[in-house]
Amino acid sequence: MKKTLLATAVVGLLSVSSAHAATVLGFKVGADYWQADTTNAFNDDSGVAHSFNDDSSQGSLWIAVEHPLPFVPNVKIRENRLESSTSLANADFNFNGHNFTGATSVTNDLSNTDFVLYYEILDNDLVSVDLGAAYKLMSGSLRVADAGHPEEVDIDSGIVMGYASAQVGMIGLGLFGFADVMLGIDESNVYDYGAGLGWQFDGLAVDTSIRVGYREFNFDVSNFSGVSQNTDFSGAFAGVELVF
């Protein structure tokens, strides 16, 4: 009799759990505004580095899909628009086979898209931890131009990266701290991390989070898409995320 009752209870629990899991499909969309200080150093044809600094606004948009299917990773796609530029008054170097002299402009576009596959290792109201892997696909260019002659090299290769994200909340207050990091595997001097604080407001259909923090993207590469450079974007950001 006890075995029968136990079996019935287990079956009942599994039925409830299955019914609940079938409806647990979540979507996240978000956007960040990032005021970044940028330091750039790119190599000319002879390997000499040329440096410049910039201070400009950058932005990111993302969407994530989380589901209850076991062993199948969740998916996040984040689009990052990153660009810095300067004017050099007295250039004297060769780039991409052309000699630049005098007034020369440089635009370094490091826009990229992150394709992230991750698993929720912990997920509760107090602590959540995600671990996975990412592929950062670059979609920018390095453009050097003087009067009437531009030279542009596409930066369009990809980087395999490790991914980790954590969030610690204060139950009942809506306040939470967060951190996420991506570390290059095949390009070990490339990393992208952010950390900060957020406030979550629960709604009937959509939960809203306001986030502020600090983010840094470091891109230190040698002969990546034919370009060697060491560029760093770092600074404060603010953003919003909607959870459906």
Number of compact structural domains in the chain:
1
Q: Look-up: residue for tokens 């002879």?
A: 46
Asked whether residue 16 is domain-assigned, the answer is: no
Of 59, 100, 95, 54, which is closest to residue 78 (Cα–Cα)?
59
CB-based contacts of 38, cutoff 8 Å, min separation 6: 53, 54, 55, 56, 84, 231, 232, 233
Asked whether residue 181 is domain-assigned, the answer is yes
- Which residues share a beta bridge with 50? 42
CA atoms within 13 A on the CB side of 196: 20
One-letter identity of residue 138: M
What local confidence, expressed as pLDDT, does residue 15 receive?
A: 36
pLDDT over threshold 70, residue 124: yes
> Is position 60 within any domain?
yes
- Tell me the residue range of the domain where 231 lies: 24-243
Give the pLDDT score at 221.
98
Residues 6+ apart with CB under 8 A from 111: 79, 80, 81, 82, 83, 138, 139, 140
Question: Which is nearest to 63 in space by CA: 113, 130, 123?
Answer: 113
Task: Look at residue 1 and tell me if it is in a domain.
Answer: no
What pLDDT sits at residue 20? 35
CA distances from 148 to 43, 105, 144, 159, 223 (A): 22, 11, 11, 34, 27
Is the overall model pTM greater than 0.85, yes or no? yes
pLDDT in tens, 205-230: 899 999 999 999 999 999 999 999 99
User: Does residue 158 form part of some domain?
Assistant: yes
What letter would DSSP give residue 154? E
CATH number at residue 180: 2.40.128
Residue 148 lies in a domain: yes
Q: For residues 152 and 140, give the distance between their C-alpha atoms in angstroms, rounded to a whole number.
A: 10
Cβ neighbours of residue 68 closer than 8 Å, sequence gap 6 or more? 21, 22, 24, 25
pLDDT of 204 reads 83
Reference 108, options 149, 61, 48, 154; nearest CA is: 154
- Nearest by Cα to 223 from 198, 192, 189: 189
Whether 18 is covered by a domain: the verdict is: no
Report pLDDT digits (tens) over 1-60. 433 433 443 333 333 333 333 347 899 999 999 999 999 999 999 999 999 999 999 999
In a domain, 14, yes or no: no
What gap in Å lies between CA 59 and CA 81, rounded to an integer? 5
What pLDDT does residue 5 have? 37
